[in-house]
Amino acid sequence: MRLLRLLLIVRVALRFGLDEFLLGHERVRGIRTLVARVLFWRDLSEPRAVRLRRALERLGPIFVKFGQVLSTRRDLLPADIADELARLQDRVPPFDSGVVLATLERTYGRPLAQVFAEFDAMPIASASVAQVHFATLKDGTLAAVKVLRPGIADTIGHDVSLLYAGAVLVERLWADGKRLKPRQVVAEFEKHLTDELDLMREASNASQLRRNFAGSPMLRVPEVYWDYCTSEAMVMERMIGTPISQVQALREQDIDIARLARFGVEIFFTQVLRDGFFHADMHPGNIFVDAQGRYVALDFGIMGTLTETDKNYLAQNFLAFFRRDYRRVAQAHLDAGWVPEGTRIDEFESAIRAVCEPIFDRPLREISFGKVLLRLFQASRRFNVQIQPQLVLLQKTLLNIEGLGRQLDPELDLWKTARPYLEQWMREQVGWRALARRLRDEAPEWVQTLPQLPRLAHRALSRAEEPALQRRLDLQDARQRTQTRLLWLALGVLLVIFALELYRGFGS
């Protein structure tokens, strides 16, 4: 099946002329001419951007998601390609409405008319994994129904298998392969894709994010209607708003765009540092803006999580970056064990400074995080920095945030916007307030544990004595086994002597 899928990918790429992107350089002009003659039957009359978008749609969810990420990077792509790939954010060709109705009736086990008062068979949005329809519940509540694409799990499974095969080749054929941990990265990607195929899990993600931002003036999250949710269907509050990519329409509604951009930065750091639970698929198709200028989050299939260790590491690095304390950044990497112990901290600090110093005191429009990440990658290869698969989603989200920021407010100073929030967060993590909060959080556990302290202490002391007692018993057993062996040896020797004496007696 992997071979068949690979052949299909090659066939689609050639059918839509994607070889143009690989053979566009003058150095390979001869190969390009040869390919054009061999594949003379192709119709390449459509613009290259349209052909690229159609090829990604044809190849399926993983390729569509790749195109979605690329669509936010207008600093890296020509305008025509970025504009066309933006259509992948919420305008993937829908699947047949008859299949939608059949899926829902099978899921609910009854006719759809008994579940909803109204159901619009025409999808309002269609994405790579699922599509959304408007509906009205029996009590008159306006809802949105998300339905999983049929057969999507098999398609994703085949593509992930190819990614694993590619990861193995990267490890074996590339000098940096093992350091980049490609198989772990693919495994992390597969885990999140698998989660995305279970709409009950997505519903729980939405519910958690809504709880985290309850009453927030910056972000709205739809309410989940649990009685209607299954693994193949998710029903939630219908949200009204303007897609965040329509900046001109937002201006016409008197939305403060600069304020909206600042909100985006604060929402990101709140999710990452306060909650350790963040929306990891923040392309423009998943974000609306309501009439009050608040973000409206949609599509919760891919959410990232961070441990307390990850959060503290990130906070220290972000803050050190904003303070231009590159030695602290280098030391944090060394303390985390991400660089070899013998690394010279001054050389590592100098490499980080060379990457980061040129991007300060500049508006967002003059900064390309894509290029910064490329230079950081080059530095990390030099110092053998270990890639952390659990942070790949965060890096992807950072690139999405940058893409959104460029669309909203190219003059945004990301560093000045983020620094006060980070400093406030760090103050809450250290000092007396942090100690008081931790004491308050741990108090119920202490109250429960305090009466048990004498018994726990006695058990600990008993366990401490157990190794010594066990060693004595083991020594006694060893002595007994040695004595037994010596006894049997003596008996054996006596039997041999007795046999020899008998032999001599018979011989005489």
Task: Give catalytic residues, as residue numbers.
Answer: 281
Q: How far apart are CA 263 and CA 278, in angstroms?
A: 15
Give, as one character, the DSSP assignment of residue 128: S
Q: How far apart are CA 447 and CA 452, in angstroms?
A: 10
**Which residues, 6 or more positions from 96, have their beta carbon under 8 angstroms from its beta carbon?**
none
Q: How far apart are CA 426 and CA 237, in angstroms?
A: 36
The residue count for the chain: 508
Contact between residue 368 and residue 76 where contact means Cβ atoms under 8 Å apart: yes
Between the alpha carbon of residue 460 and those of residues 64, 90, 456, 469, 473, the distances in Å are: 57, 59, 6, 14, 20
* Phi, psi dihedrals of residue 131, rounded to the nearest 5°: -135, 160
CA atoms within 13 A on the CB side of 388: 16
How many CB atoms are closer than 10 A to CB 384? 12
Q: How far apart are CA 270 and CA 186, in angstroms?
A: 27
Q: How far apart are CA 234 and CA 180, in angstroms?
A: 36
Q: Helices 345-356 and 326-335: crossing angle, nearest 10°?
A: 120
Of the candidates 115, 124, 162, the residue with the CA atom closest to the CA atom of residue 8: 162
Q: How far apart are CA 393 and CA 281, in angstroms?
A: 9
Beta bridge partners of 295: 219, 289
Strands (E), 441-505: none
Q: How far apart are CA 335 and CA 350, in angstroms?
A: 17
Q: How far apart are CA 193 and CA 174, in angstroms?
A: 26
Q: How far apart are CA 220 and CA 244, in angstroms?
A: 14
Of the candidates 281, 277, 257, the residue with the CA atom closest to the CA atom of residue 71: 281
